[in-house]
Amino acid sequence: MAEFGDVKNLAYGGTSTVASHHVYNEDVRFVDDHERKDLARGLKQRHVQMIAIAGAIGTGLFLGLGGSIATGGPLGALLGYLFVGAIVCAIQFALGEVTALFPVTGSFVRHSEILVDPAMAFAIGWNVVYGNFLSVPSEISAGVVLIQYWNDTINPAVWVTILIVLSILVAIIFIGVYGEVEFFFAILKILLVVGIVIMGLVIDLGGVPGKPRLGFHFWKTPGPFVEYIAQGSWGRFLGFWAVMSNAVYSFAGVESLAMAAAETRNPRHNIPKACKRVFARVTIFYILAILVVGMLVSSDDERLSNESGTAAQSPFVIAASDAGIKAIPSIVNAVVLTSAWSASNQAILAGTRTLYGLALKGHAPKFFLRTTRYGIPYMCVAVQMAFSFLAYMCVSNDALTVFFWLVDLTAAGVLISWITVALNHIRLIQALKKQGYPLHALPWHNSWTPYGSWFALVSCIIILLTGGFAVFTSGNWEPSSFVSSYLDIPLVLVVFAGYKLIRRTKYVSLSDIPIAQALDEAQNDPENVPILKEVWWKRWNFLW
């Protein structure tokens, strides 16, 4: 045991003159020895940023915007996505600040053990693992539906097998390969978003021969808002509020960029930098896309209610078809297919690294710590890929119904994860103040983040509790909607309470949070070096 004195000349923006007399164990490190020795730092800054972008830009953007327009109207949908975009901004900055201090595998799951309660880490961690384990067969099933848009004569089991094999290859090879695959997919998505936004503006402004200029015609008729469930202003507000649940799940994935922090080069600088940049780019893409969609397609267009799961339900495809552009459906379907595969890869990364992080802290069997010579936790990958065989249930309609009920169990997991990120950050800020450290002592900090985390925490709790409000209205009861909206909440609470009772864990006191040790580790981390300033031409690179 050793005494830690003044934290001075922290090298990240200030000097602390506050003496800390907290005792800590020099043999215990936040970044575990297994992480240091067994995992490979194969993810570069561009990989980390593109992993987040690839995860957030997917079916929610290409296929789901039409449903948001139909529910809330063009202005209601735009406001809903702007509001959730602000939440995502706060979550990203909170995640970046905590990760810069604790760059560990498992990200916010491990953070909650240090900052809140080991029981919370156990409950949230296994919820994340379960959700990601089921996301892989879910995305593979979605990929099969997308492939059948072109060819529905081949047995779906063939496509399931091919997609599983591809997923296994990406998961088990060096982490840098995964980074390059996601980098490529993200480039495709960004190019498609830019392309369809430009196409939409050309169509809207009358650039297609024989087609009139639309302008904001659909904002006037049928109107900027849609009445949802109720009539009048209350109905228009409910339409706007219903959009936010769609928006949350569209942005899902941005919180996973820090899951592989121990496999990222210079994580104390690269992950915060990625958090800062990614939210802005993703939000801009969504805002531009939904603004253009609102100008191209009427909110009362019956085709927006198409639930085929293929490009046929995309509002961009609907607009292109109306304009006589025939190539767009296949292009959109192809990129959405890469989105499904990308989402599957990201679920494998988040699920396996969370499971590895749980094993490090004794919340999962130790054999999950075994890694290949290239730093891949192969036992975690093996278990997760075993779950991918559930995708064969898509061959049978009855089995597929049961499978999606299993998926629905963790549909609220995104909001629970965001709540955890915000709570971790709030506890960190409170611990700094309690122990007398200035906020600028953190490796990375922004002055408004303490307020942003409270905003995100309260907003996420409200959306979580009200997200399924429609099922409680007259004539709208659906068991599957109720399950997907609420069942995950008692599941997490029961696991949390059960672990706390069995292990008799205690909430971490603000005075006992090891701030001094964390700052000391950050200061003496050989990789914690400022990123060199970019040459002038790289500053024009809007991608990474």
Least confident of 270-279, 296-305, 514-523: 270-279
Residue bearing the bigger pLDDT, 378 or 6: 378
Mean pLDDT taken over the chain? 83
Rounded distance between C-alpha atoms, residue 226 and residue 219, angstroms: 11
Q: What is the per-residue pLDDT across 270-294, written as a single tens digit (0 to 9) for each?
A: 888 878 777 777 778 888 888 998 9
Domain ranges of the chain: 40-503
Q: Is the pLDDT of residue 227 over 60?
A: yes
Q: Which two tokens stand for residue 391?
A: 């995708």
Burial letters for 268-284: b for 16+ Cβ neighbours within 10 Å, e otherwise?
bbbbbbbbbbbbebbbe
Which pLDDT belongs to residue 254?
78
Q: What is the mean pLDDT of residues 187-212?
A: 86
Confidence of residue 20 (pLDDT cuts 50, 70, 90): very low
Which pLDDT belongs to residue 40?
73
Beta bridge partners of 260: 105
On the 0-12 / 13-18 / 19+ scale of CB atoms within 10 A, 93 is: buried
Least confident of 201-210, 251-260, 336-345, 422-431: 251-260
Q: How far are the Cα atoms of 108, 238, 269, 319, 361 from residue 356, in angstroms, in the given order?
A: 13, 41, 23, 45, 9
Least confident of 2-16, 44-58, 199-213, 474-488: 2-16
Rounded distance between C-alpha atoms, residue 142 and residue 137, angstroms: 9
Q: What is the mean pLDDT of residues 243-247?
A: 86
Q: What is the per-residue pLDDT across 31-84, written as a single tens digit (0 to 9) for each?
A: 666 666 777 777 777 777 777 777 677 777 777 788 889 999 999 999 999 999
Q: Which CATH number among 1.20.1740.10, 3.20.20.70, 3.40.120.10, 3.40.50.720 corresponds to the domain 40-503?
A: 1.20.1740.10
Q: Is the pLDDT of residue 122 over 70?
A: yes
Q: Is the pLDDT of residue 258 over 90?
A: no
Q: Is the pLDDT of residue 26 over 50?
A: no
Kindly write down the DSSP assignment for every residue of 260-274, as one continuous string: BGGGBSSHHHHHHHH
What single-letter DSSP state applies at residue 530? P
What single-letter DSSP state applies at residue 544? -
Q: Which two tokens stand for residue 110?
A: 């491990």
Least confident of 196-205, 355-364, 392-401: 392-401
Q: What is the mean pLDDT of residues 419-438?
A: 95
Kindly write down the DSSP assignment for every residue of 354-391, as one continuous string: HHHHHHHTTSS-GGGG---TTS--HHHHHHHHHHHGGG
Which pLDDT belongs to residue 11?
35
Helix (H) or strand (E) holding 24: strand 23-24
